[in-house]
Structure 1
Amino acid sequence: MNVEFLEANAIRLRLRRYMEEYDEFHWAVAWGSHPGMAKRLFTHRSKFRNVTFGVAFSQTDPDVVDALVGVANGYVATKFAGGTYHPKIYSFRTGRRVAAVVGSANFTGGGLGANLEAAVALTGTMDDPALSDIIAFARTSAGYGRQVTQPYADAYRASCVRAGRLPKAPRDPVPEGRVGAAAAIMKMDWDEYVRRVRASRHHDMARSLELIAIARRWFATEASFARFSPEQRKAVAGILGEYQKVGPDLDREWGWFGSMRGAGDFANRIEQNDRSLSKALDSIPSGGEVTRAQYERFCRLFRQAFARSSRTGGVPTATRLLSMKRPDTFLCVCKPNIVQAAKELGFARTTLDLDNYWERVVEPISLSTWYNADKPDHPDGELWEARAAMLDTLFYRP
């Protein structure tokens, strides 16, 4: 077996040579984003045997993921449960002959040129234990992967836009199992979203946005939901009676985005200014990213509010409160909209509960193209701030 030391530019040149020279590619690479080399790589897609790119932290270019759609033996690593999928293995085979480049370099502009990188090039045969082990490693790595469908590629591209706005990108940019069912609504762009919202027969968009703006102003003004007036709490909860609509802020249709007037135990908790209910809503930040951990804390406290009740609060009442505080993140799912929401977001409506609401509703929304559009100028900037809650205009069926 022959061994050579390579630096970044030499790594790139060696990969180009091996791509032409060998019949099979066996790769396991953490990240890929080099446009020129990627174009060259995919002209040899028929040579792929086990070629797997990682997508952790949205570091692989979405163009590379798009290029993998429908490619036999090409994968993205989504099934590596612990740590980070992080190898840099490029191996090639023709019959018994094998070559490999192993080192620090990712398949990126930095890894193949701009960075200070180091690798070794190994050439020999399958009789060399190191080379046969490298081929086996690439095969094992493919087991952490999934073949790329267009819905996955679309969701991944949206996740890259979203990741750019977050202080820290999530390790798993596209949660496993939430791609495909909601493909149509996730692929919708911002212009189509606005058109569909404006075309709603059941919502007055301007008045809907005014209602949300009032609720958000209350949350920005008071440190806790417990400090809201009784009428404000009832308005946010969707249970405000007609005789209680005193003053310009309250005198409007607070039943939009889910009327909860039939939820007796919930109404009692709101009336009594239940401490757990207030703490639950206070646990959701007024701005910035809402994390799953914060949502789960909300759920624990929300359920505590009903510990002594014969009937507990569920998805409609909980998400009504959430959508009023953070309409940019949460959709109130209730009887008038659940059939269409289930159809478009791809879940079974009879099985939706607080435990799976995050992955069935929040995650597909947050990975959608329209959701990750840049905030537009006025007047649609107000709609963008309420874009998750305003899905009700698309899903509502009286």
Structure 2
Amino acid sequence: MKLVNGNGQLRVELTRCIEHYEEISIAVAWASANTDVFQTLLKNKKKIKKAVIGTHFFQTDPNVLEALYKQKSVKFITQPSGVFHPKVYLFKGHAGWEAIVGSANLTAGAINNNNEVSLLISSEDSDSSDVLKDLIQQIKTYSDMASYLTKPEIDRYRELAKIHRPSRDKIGATFGGRKADKGPLEVEFLTMSWKKFKKGSKRDPHDSLEERLEVLKICRDAFKEYGSFSKMPTELRQMVAGTPSTYDERWGWFGSMTGVGVFKKMINNNDKYLAKAVNSIPLEGEITKAHFDQFIVHYKRAFGGSRDGVATASRLLAMKRPDIFVCFNSKNEIKIKEAIGIKFGKKDYGAYWEELICRISTAVWWNTPQPVGVEDRAIWMGRTALLDAYFYDEGA
């Protein structure tokens, strides 16, 4: 008997046993397809006597189901009572057997990153015959609970897993496929109550909250009145875009785009692709990544691969949906990143959505239901865009 308490050791022992023994029996809560251990198992799948894999919370990779569903020795738990949560690996051969029992699933996290601990037991240990008998019976019990899957069922599972993955990633503080530098409990700004957030908004160092809310109202009313960005008068489009405008002297609030000449020209010329980009973001309701991606497609097409960027894109997004987006620019980005505990590997559209907007959407204050009071409701409707007031740095 020995303790297996490191990712490297776990990989070595699982790989060794899969390759060495003639029979493999497994019962795990979840499995990933993108590990060397799973690929080794696939190469030896004819050895599988019984395998039971759980799917609760859609945490098992759909590719695992796809790779194994035709194997009659493999079954899946799809509707557990409680959570199907065992982690048992049993390997049998002519000369003996070994088993790994502990906390490690057949997942990339368990094999590569997590802190896991398991016991490696074998036929050489005392009372081994009783242990083997119990392990065989337990895996059989799990198998009797499980069922086979069809290809259409796997296809449906894949679609559902895709829907639920963002929620799982948020809970695990994973954004853009990268673990956040700080967990949610370490980031005070994310755990701030609505009451505290509202109070902080009113302590705007430039005493501009009332006027900022008025700017957001002007933009919101413009989108309601004209429907399409292209139908707005030029001066109003300029104000929404943060380029010099005679419509209102506060056009530069929430991010002045006066230094981006190409962008100003497109706004003045009423570029059709910019209009398509802005129009692809709903004025009300949920904003999905599909909406954002469609915005970016049209937005980049407007620039033709030249001089587009997060600052100008996020200005338009923030004015269309200030509850969801913030104009992310050189005057606020350093303090925003510090406040929510992120460090972009690369500042691009994907990072803006995945690492910034998705992380902001996990904040306590952000998830507070819409309040009743007139001012409170106005702050709530512009809560993400108002981060510019929180973190604006004149000297940046």
Secondary structure, aligned partner of 2:386: helix
Whether 2:296 is the aligned partner of 1:307: answer no
Structure-2 separation of matches of 1:280 and 1:104? 41
1:392 to 384, 388, 393: 388
Whether the aligned pair in 2 keeps the contact of 1:178 and 1:359 (CA below 8 Å) is no
Aligned to 1:221: 225
Conservation of the 8 A alpha-carbon contact between 1:336 and 1:396: yes
Which of 250, 253, 262 is the equivalent residue of 1:253?
250
- TM-score, L = length of structure 2: 0.60
Percent identity, please.
Answer: 29
Max Rg structure: 2
TM-score (norm 1): 0.59
Q: Tell whether the 8 Å contact from 1:27 to 1:138 is kept in structure 2 after alignment.
A: no
CA 1:345/1:191 → structure 2, altered by over 3 Å: closer, same or farther? Answer: same
Q: CA deviation at 1:318?
A: 0.8
Matching residue of 1:171: 165
Partner of 2:388: helix, strand, or coil? Answer: helix
The alpha-carbon distance between structure 1 residues 81 and 364, as it changes in their structure 2 partners (threshold 3 A), is: farther
Q: Whole-Å Cα distance in 2 between the matches of residues 397 and 262 of structure 1?
A: 17
1:4-153 matches, within 5 Å, as: 28-29=28-29, 56=57, 77=59, 80=61, 82=63, 106=80, 108=82, 139-141=104-106, 143-145=108-110, 147=114
- Name 2:264's counterpart in structure 1: 267
CA–CA distance in structure 1, aligned partners of residues 381 and 211 of structure 2: 15
CA displacement at 1:126 relative to structure 2: 8.3
Gapped runs of 5+ residues in structure 2? 1-25, 31-52, 66-75, 85-89, 116-161
Q: CA deviation at 1:103?
A: 5.9
TM-superposed deviation, 1:199: 1.3
Distance 1:182 1:341 in 2: 16
Which runs of 5 or more residues in structure 1 are unaligned? 1-25, 31-51, 58-76, 85-101, 112-124, 149-167
RMSD, aligned CA: 3.9
Residue pairs, 1:310-325, within 5 angstroms:
311-325=306-320
Distance 1:221 1:135 in 2: 65
Give distance in 2, aligned partners of 1:192 and 1:393.
Answer: 15
Which string of whole-angstrom CA distances, capped at 9 and with x for unpartnered residues, describes residues 226-245 of structure 1? 0000011001011133xx23
The corresponding residue for 2:346 is 351
Measured in 1, the distance between the counterparts of 2:224 and 2:207 equals 25
Q: Secondary structure at the match of 2:308?
A: coil
Query: What amino acid sits opposite 2:226 in the alignment?
Result: E
Distance 1:381 1:320 in 2: 22
Moved more, 225-234 or 354-363: 354-363
Conservation of the 8 A alpha-carbon contact between 1:197 and 1:394: yes
Separation in structure 2 between the aligned mates of residue 382 and residue 395 of structure 1, nearest angstrom: 19
Q: Is the 8 A contact 2:56 2:78 kept in 1?
A: no
Match of 1:293 in 2: 290
1: CA distance, partners of 2:340 / 2:63: 28
TM-fit CA distance, 1:274: 0.4
Q: Is the 8 A contact 2:314 2:325 kept in 1?
A: yes
Q: Does the C-alpha gap of structure 1 residues 83 and 104 become closer, same or farther in structure 2, counting only changes over 3 Å?
A: closer
In structure 1, distance between residues paired with 2:380 and 2:360:
13
What are the within-5 Å matches in structure 2 for residues 278-289 of structure 1? 278-289=275-286
